[in-house]
């Protein structure tokens, strides 16, 4: 985390953060998701809600509260695959089927929701409130990729003797981090929607991918100490070392260079977007929606970069702590 990147975006913080942290703790307690004695101090040290306070500095209080709950659902889902459940395809596949059924409201068979399932139903209903069918479809697709990504990671662990291709790994990794649903949330908490045809605009899709890759690459640098302790192979620093024989400092430097290149690419795509015919043809309100969406993506880049330098979650001295589960009870 000592490397410095040039991130040309302003970092601001949402003024509702303090109250939202306490509300988020109350929400997790109500859904029986966190053991106060085991994990509350760790939660405060990790400061998860601050990430969303940076990423959504202008969100209203209720919207930031929703985002904090949303983030902790995704984090705790991820935590379920840190141990034995994440070493074979069976665990991630069963969990994906379970949560996709919950997402689609499938009542054709009995579904035991579990603690995390109840939390997901609550978060999903609040996310969908007031949004169009097309936005909902995009969110559902992004959630499904999030759930399916844990099968890819389990496969990589099972085939640890082989080194996964770097491009394939990054594609898998971006889905597991849950960034795509968080980018969808830019519209939800901003109370606007992109013009429908701009959802498939190649510049916007490319910028979304750039944000995903930036988070994936920098996260791998931040979490390499923890993954090395657990023997996990899903980390771009470790993959680069295994493929090239590079030292750890050189591998970290190369991954940071890739992250910096992604930021430059994002800016170039932004320029191409604003000089493109589809953007120019939009009415003023349509261009305004696109501009707000781009600002939201910029916020995500600087928010993640800033938060990782403050959170206790990625401090090397806490790596052993972060290999341990957050709960002693079953959440799935």
**Domain CATH for 205:** 1.10.600.10
pLDDT value at position 109? 55
Task: Read off the pLDDT of residues 251-298 as tens digits, 9 standing for 90 and up.
Answer: 999 999 999 999 999 999 999 999 999 999 999 999 999 999 999 999
In a domain, 1, yes or no: no
pLDDT tops 70 at residue 110: no
The domain of 258 spans 17-322
Q: How far is CA 224 from CA 7, 22, 233, 237, in A?
A: 22, 30, 10, 7
In a domain, 230, yes or no: yes
pLDDT tops 70 at residue 113: yes
Q: Angle at which helices 36-46 and 17-30 pack, to 10 degrees?
A: 150
In a domain, 99, yes or no: yes
Dig out the tokens for 253 from the structure. 């430097």
In a domain, 75, yes or no: yes
In a domain, 233, yes or no: yes
Q: What percent of the chain has pLDDT over 90?
A: 67
Is residue 218 very low, low, confident or very high in pLDDT (cuts 50, 70, 90)? Answer: very high
pLDDT value at position 2? 54
Q: Please indicate whether residue 108 or residue 62 has the higher confidence score (pLDDT).
A: 62
In a domain, 40, yes or no: yes
Contact 156, 87 (CB under 8 A): no
pLDDT value at position 193? 98
In a domain, 4, yes or no: no
- Indicate the number of domains in the chain: 1
């Amino acid at each position: 985390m000592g490397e410095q990147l040039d991130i040309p975006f302003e970092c601001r913080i949402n003024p509702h953060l303090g109250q939202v942290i306490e509300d988020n703790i109350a929400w997790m307690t109500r859904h029986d998701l966190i053991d106060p004695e085991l994990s509350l101090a760790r939660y405060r040290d990790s400061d998860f809600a601050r990430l969303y306070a940076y990423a959504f500095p202008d969100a209203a209080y209720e919207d930031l509260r929703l985002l904090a709950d949303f983030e902790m659902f995704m984090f705790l889902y991820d935590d379920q695959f840190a141990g034995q459940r994440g070493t074979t395809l069976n665990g991630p596949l069963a969990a994906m089927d379970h949560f996709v059924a919950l997402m689609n409201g499938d009542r054709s068979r009995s579904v035991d929701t579990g603690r995390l399932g109840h939390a997901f139903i609550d978060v999903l209903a609040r996310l969908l409130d007031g949004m169009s069918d097309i936005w909902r479809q995009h969110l559902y697709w992004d959630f499904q990729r999030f759930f399916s990504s844990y099968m890819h990671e389990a496969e990589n662990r099972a085939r640890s003797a082989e080194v996964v291709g770097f491009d394939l790994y990054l594609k898998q990794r971006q889905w597991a981090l849950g960034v795509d649903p968080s980018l969808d949330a830019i519209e939800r908490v901003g109370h606007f929607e992109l013009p429908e045809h701009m959802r498939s605009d190649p510049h916007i899709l490319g910028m979304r991918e750039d944000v995903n890759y930036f988070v994936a690459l920098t996260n791998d640098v931040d979490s390499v100490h923890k993954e090395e302790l657990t023997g996990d192979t899903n980390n771009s620093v470790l993959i680069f070392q295994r493929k090239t024989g590079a030292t750890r400092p050189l591998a970290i430097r190369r991954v940071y260079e890739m992250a910096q290149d992604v930021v430059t690419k994002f800016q170039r795509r932004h320029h191409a977007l604003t000089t493109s015919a589809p953007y120019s043809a939009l009415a003023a309100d349509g261009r305004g929606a696109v501009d707000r969406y781009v600002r939201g993506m910029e916020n995500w880049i600087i928010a993640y970069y800033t938060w990782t330098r403050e959170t206790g979650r990625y401090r090397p001295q806490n790596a052993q702590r972060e290999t341990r589960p957050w709960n002693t009870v079953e959440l799935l």
